Amino acid sequence: MLTTEELIDQAASLPIEERAVIIDSLLKTINPMDYIVDRKWLEIAKRRVQEFRAGVVKPIPGEEVFQKVKDRFSK
């Protein structure tokens, strides 16, 4: 059986697509999907896209969002 370090070394040598599959699979074992929560998030996302397309909300540049987060948590 491989040690954790050996397993990580082998996984790190895989192509990016295969590493992403491994990461996704491992994350699902830590935080299993909750279909009710996922469905609610999907509803929220669809509503927000409709609001954006209708001009109800305006987009905020990512740089501005990240700067606000950085400012908030650096205090």
The model's pLDDT over 17-68, given as tens digits with 9 standing for 90+, comes to: 999 999 999 999 998 889 999 999 999 999 999 999 999 999 999 999 999 9
Domain that holds residue 56: 34-75
If asked whether residues 74 and 43 sit together in one domain, one would say yes
Q: Are residues 51 and 27 in the same domain?
A: no
List the one residue out of 61, 69, 39, 66 whose CA is nearest residue 47: 39
Same domain, 57 and 75: yes
pTM here? 0.50
Q: For residues 4 and 27, what is the distance between their CA atoms, to the nearest angstrom?
A: 16
The reported pLDDT for the residue numbered 31 is 85
14/42 same-domain check: no
Q: Is the pLDDT of residue 75 over 80?
A: no
44 and 72 housed in the same domain: yes
| Domain count of the fold of the chain | 2
Examine the domain organization and report whether 53 and 18 are in the same domain.
no
**Do 41 and 74 belong to one domain?**
yes
